[in-house]
Structure 1
Amino acid sequence: MSKITELTEQLATPILEDMNLELVDVEFVKEGSNWFLRLYIDKEAGVDIEECGQVSEKLSEKLDELDPIQQNYFLEVSSPGAERPLKKEKDFERAIGKNVHVKTYEPIDGLKEIEGVLASYDGSALTVDVMIKTRKKTITIPKEKVAKARLAVSFS
């Protein structure tokens, strides 16, 4: 994790705790010629635009005080959306029984992208029930092989 995202997480955590919000992810990325510092926040019932605005204002004040970022950037605070990333232990635990999309560093059972229902998570591996045509298959994915994981919207 970059120093900017680490510092942003440190600055945002007390703000979010005061508002009973959860930090889902922080990213600092260049898109075209612009830099974006993005914060994804959530809570059980979901976040609204006013909460995002309040976090943005408070965090912006803290960032302006410290001025840790050399280049110009846009600060964006939003909900992670329906396909929220799964990064922390509790994200995976909460996703049990839900549809997930997992990308792996190397093929597992011949697949590098696996989508299905997260059947279990024990801290070291994910077990995903996948439908391949009309057959249900269970795939176990070691946690260290997970490149990215997120909830997946299912249209079935």
Structure 2
Amino acid sequence: MNWQLSVEKTVTGFGYELIECERGSQGLLRVFIDRVSGQAYDTGESEFVTVEDCEKVTRQLQYVLEVDGLDYSRLEVSSPGLDRPLKKQADYARYEGERIDLTLKLPFQGRKRYQGVLRAVVGGASEGWALHFNDGKEDQVMGFALDEVREARLVPVVNFKGRKGRAQAAAATEVPGGQEE
């Protein structure tokens, strides 16, 4: 069994979603996990991954990787962070209506990087995804397929006055404004 399959089986066995798994330099093995919406966890109620979640998965992964004979010197298990990457179709569906940074493989309108609100396109000839953004002059909508995306990440929303509900946060992201690197 390869190490990625072992990691995925362990993480999903505990009811978490494996976001990303990568090998770094000097024997580093980095694993990013997320909670699955609607799932109950024995580490407590929270919408977000807790330290206890990471500890639980780390302990089990250490055991599994030792049994499988994987050579690593350091294991890091963490949440995907505020700028969570969107990798799969299910990620895009889960975060529809949220503000994202999108990097395309090929340029569109002379650039590859966009920031805007993610929307699903349903019906018609082309089902898929659209990014609603402002190019500095006017609001625009760009349709795209997942195979055209190099990288997509949530735009971090930090509110020091307390957490907003998702609906309020989504409404706050409706303010147009595209950014270019």
Q: Same fold (TM over 0.5)?
A: yes
Larger Rg: 2
CA distance in 1, matches of 2:127, 2:24: 29
Partner of 1:139: 142
Code of the aligned partner of 2:52: E
Query: Residue 35 of structure 1: which of 3, 6, 27 is its match?
Result: 27
Q: What is the identity, as a one-letter code, of the residue corresponding to 1:136?
A: D
Determine if contact 1:126/1:141 at 8 Å carries over to the other structure.
Answer: yes
Kindly indicate whether the alpha-carbon contact (under 8 Å) linking 1:96 and 1:121 is maintained by their aligned counterparts in 2.
no
Q: Please give the TM-score of this superposition, normalised by the length of structure 1.
A: 0.81
Confirm whether residue 8 of structure 1 aligns to residue 3 of structure 2: yes
Matches within 5 A, 1:45-64: 45-64=47-66
- Structure 2: runs of 5+ lacking an equivalent: 38-46, 159-172, 174-181
Distance 1:18 1:144 in 2: 29
* Matched residue type, 1:102: L
**CA contact 1:108–1:141 (8 Å) conserved in 2:** no
Aligned residues between the structures: 146
Task: Measure the CA separation in 2 of the matches of 1:107 and 1:141.
Answer: 12
TM-score, normalised to structure 2, is 0.71
- Conservation of the 8 A alpha-carbon contact between 1:8 and 1:26: no
CA-based RMSD of the aligned residues comes to: 2.3
1:144 shift after superposition = 1.7
- Structure 1 segments, 4+ long, off by >6 Å, are none
Work out the CA distance in 2 between the residues paired with 1:142 and 1:54. Answer: 36
**Structure 1 residue 23 corresponds to structure 2 residue 23:** no
List alignment gaps of at least 5 residues for structure 1: 1-5
1:134 shift after superposition: 4.9
Structure 2 counterpart of 1:90: 90
Partners of 1:24 and 1:75 in 2: how far apart?
16
Return the structure number with greater strand share.
Answer: 1
Quote the residue 1:67 is aligned against. Answer: 69
The C-alpha deviation readout for 1:39-87, integer Å capped at 9, x for no partner, is 1111131111111011111111111112133xx4311000001111101
